[in-house]
Amino acid sequence: MNTPAMIIDFEATDVSKEAEATQLGYRNVYFDHTDNCLSAEVIYDTGSIASHTVNCKPDRAISYGAMAVSHITPDDVKDYRNHKMVVPQYLPVGEAYIIGHNVDFDIQVAANAGVDVSQYKRICTQALARRLLPNLDSHSLGALTYAINPDLARQYCRNAHNAGYDVTFTLWLLEEICEIGFFTSMEQLYLASESARTPIVFDFGKHNGKAIKEVACHPKDREYFDWVFDNIKDKPYLIKACRQAVDNIKLLNWRHERGGLPAIAEVDNGDSYHICSRPDAPAPYIAIKKAGGQVVDDAYFDNTNDAKAWCNKHFNMGAFYEEE
């Protein structure tokens, strides 16, 4: 039996972790394995392009900020069934692919309505769009709709923040993502989403803008990862990226150490790394990378630890431009 897949979107009382649904949009999707193309459940309401849309009444007060976005007020939903009755009725039970733009928020709103989300495999179109369309100035759902289909966006994006319309916009984006990324199954999309959600660079702190793998190359910088593990509890994908960096970093095996100076490290592909004393140079130590017996890069350092880190960075990350 195929694992079900559903695009969802919620309008909610607020943007907190306790947010409750005021409106649910949803649409079942699948891959047609005849031609490996993404297909979606047909909506028979010919008067609208919106996907299924269901209103519900939350227990929490609707914030004014939420009203300004969705234009749903307490009076609009006061006569609808409670969110804890509505949301579980429409969402899948058990394992399912759940797709959304910033999907974690939608999953949290579902959980707050009593849905067991433990077996859901999350696919985030926002993360995928950031990875596959990195040069856009915005990755909001509305901006992406304008980027991929400006004519439809001009016609329909005035309905943004209606859950049913947002699900349709997410479907259009997902179709574009599948075409760009050559995805032909939900599992491929899921794995690509997991990869896209795992950060490559730090976006905060003293290493802001540096590749996480690069920071792991230097012994003194690796201590920073202990701080991350001890202090950051709400960014599981950052923790995952940091653990991968620490676990997967490969340190060069230095040979011919004399007087504390590692002279050479060779690797399987024939490259070699050298650290030499150069008292007449701008800094006392030079790190050299050789390929095919020829020097292909070098840099000067004040101590051997920094020289080793430069070599390890080359070894783990490939060629890079060193700014000394």
Residue 45 is predicted with a pLDDT of 67
Q: What's the pTM?
A: 0.82
196-200: average pLDDT: 93
Question: What residue spans in the chain does CATH classification 3.30.420.10 cover?
Answer: 5-197
Dihedral (CA of 160, 163, 164, 168) sign: positive
Q: Which fold does the domain 5-197 belong to in CATH?
A: Nucleotidyltransferase; domain 5 (3.30.420)
- Tens of pLDDT, residue by residue over 109-134, are 999 999 999 999 999 999 999 999 99
Give the Cα separation of 23 and 9 in Å (integer): 8
CA distance 264 to 258: 11
Percent of the chain at pLDDT > 70 equals 95
Both tokens assigned to 153 = 């966006």
- C-alpha to C-alpha distance for 267 and 5, rounded to whole angstroms: 46
* C-alpha span between 130 and 101 (Å, rounded): 11
Q: 71: left (phi > 0), else alpha (psi -120 to 50), else beta? A: left
For 299-316, how does the pLDDT look when each residue is reduced to its tens digit (9 = 90+)? 999 988 899 999 999 899
